Amino acid sequence: MDSLNLCWRGMAGAGKHKQLNQHLKRVADLRGLPFTLTMRSITGSGGGEATEGDDEAADAETGQIQYE
């Protein structure tokens, strides 16, 4: 299988995300591969070792990151 290299540039709100997803769908269809997008969240807790003074900071670092 050949490699796929994509680059999308443009102003914020120009529709890059939508166009990229449409292009990936087209490529998957041409290659006969299934294509579905799933939204998930990564939950993290800052990582590393916490000291007594870092307890409040650790609470602020706990969060979620969305990815597709």
Domain spans of the chain, in order of start? 36-68
Q: Stretch 21-36: mean pLDDT, rounded?
A: 91
**Residue 53 pLDDT exceeds 80:** no
Q: Provide the total of helices (H) and of strands (E) in the chain, helices listed first.
A: 2, 2
The values of phi and psi at residue 11, to 5°, are -70, 155
**Residue 50 pLDDT exceeds 80:** no
Q: Stretch 14-21: mean pLDDT, rounded?
A: 88
